[in-house]
Amino acid sequence: MSISSEHKPLGKQVTGSLHTLSPIVELNVGGEMYTTTLSTLKKHPGSKLAEMFTGQPKLRTDSEGRFFIDRPGTYFKYILEYLRSNQVPTQCIQDVYKEALFYDIEPLIKQLEDSPQIFGELVARKQFLARVPNYSENIELMIRIARAEAVASRRSSVIVCVVRTEEDASRCQDALNSLDMDKKSVVKFGPWKAAPSISDLLDCIQMDVEAKGYKVSFQPHIAEKGFRFKSHDFFYKFLFTWW
């Protein structure tokens, strides 16, 4: 009986015990080829990587018989170097950290979290943003507004109100009401109880929007009417460029 191409497996599946494997192992990680030893891959027994090569795994192989792992191969070399020599990478820290989390290599995860890049992101920046009410939801709202206004346009803009204190929020209320009457959408951030300034939050907003693949910049929003104070103290225009 013939088998249609729809049901042919992409590669061989290894279901037998790995006790009979050669101590030299060839890997295909996202299209990047590596050769290492079984003992290196199993160096940290509690890791997901070690479990892939322990007991009765179900591993796919490519057409050349190399074990296939569907992850970014570029950063696996740093994982492998750590397993071989305990050398903590100094390049591509954020990406290697993601891979260390995936492979669940706890010693590497902890050492990377002590690096300035990861420490700054996890402990400083993210802890600050956690104190800004609805920060993630507001980022998504900004993107939805920008996309809705992008029809047949090269750029679209979103007005953002950033208030650090409750007093600032009260001062902005009349301006927010005025913008609402003019049927202009405004995304409000704050207030928050943390040291970073309005400028710091604006940088975070730009960073996180750009991390989602958008090209964005910001500038003070100059009000046309109805503001009893300098609008650029709290109001900013984020410009999304589409092409």
DSSP result, the chain: ----GGGS-SS-EE-S-GGGS-SEEEEEETTEEEEEEHHHHTSSTTSHHHHHTSSS--EEB-TTS-EEE-S-GGGHHHHHHHHHH-PPP-SSHHHHHHHHHHHT-HHHHHHHHTSHHHHIIIIIIHHHHTTSTTHHHHHHHHHHHHHHT-TT-SEEEEEEEE-SSHHHHHHHHHHHHHHHHTT--EEEE----SS--HHHHHHHHHHHHHHTT-EEEEEEPPPSS--SS-GGGTEEEEEEE--
Query: Would you state the pLDDT for residue 231?
Result: 52
Contact 27, 66 (CB under 8 A): yes
Q: How confident is the model at residue 1 (pLDDT cuts 50, 70, 90)?
A: very low
Output the CA–CA distances (angstroms, integers) from residue 61 to 30, 57, 58, 197, in the order listed: 12, 12, 10, 52
Query: Would you state the pLDDT for residue 122?
Result: 84
Query: Would you state the pLDDT for residue 184?
Result: 82
Query: Would you state the pLDDT for residue 52?
Result: 92
Section 199-220 average pLDDT: 95
Q: Give per-residue pLDDT as tens, 147-194.
A: 999 988 999 999 999 999 998 888 888 788 878 777 788 999 999 999
pLDDT at residue 239 is higher than 60: yes
Query: Would you state the pLDDT for residue 41?
Result: 95
Query: Would you state the pLDDT for residue 3?
Result: 41
Q: Give per-residue pLDDT as tens, 224-234.
A: 655 555 555 79
Q: Give per-residue pLDDT as tens, 107-158.
A: 999 999 999 989 888 888 989 999 999 999 999 999 999 999 998 899 999 9
Output the CA–CA distances (angstroms, integers) from residue 155 to 128, 142, 179, in the order listed: 30, 14, 21
The CATH number of 24-114 is which of 3.40.50.970, 3.30.710.10, 3.40.50.620, 3.30.70.940?
3.30.710.10
Query: Would you state the pLDDT for residue 12?
Result: 53
Whole-number Å distance between alpha carbons of 194 and 184:
29
Show me where the domains of the chain are located.
24-114, 132-241
Query: Would you state the pLDDT for residue 105?
Result: 97
Whole-number Å distance between alpha carbons of 116 and 123:
10
DSSP 120-144: IIIIIIHHHHTTSTTHHHHHHHHHH
pLDDT at residue 6 is higher than 90: no
Query: Would you state the pLDDT for residue 182?
Result: 75
Whole-number Å distance between alpha carbons of 63 and 93:
32
Whole-number Å distance between alpha carbons of 169 and 158:
19
Query: Would you state the pLDDT for residue 11?
Result: 54
Whole-number Å distance between alpha carbons of 55 and 18:
6
Q: Give per-residue pLDDT as tens, 35-80.
A: 999 999 999 999 999 999 887 666 789 999 999 999 999 999 999 9
Q: Give per-residue pLDDT as tens, 83-113.
A: 999 999 989 998 999 999 999 999 999 999 9
What type of residue is 69?
A: I
Phi, psi of 20, deg, nearest 5: -90, 0
What type of residue is 32?
A: E
pLDDT at residue 9 is higher than 50: no
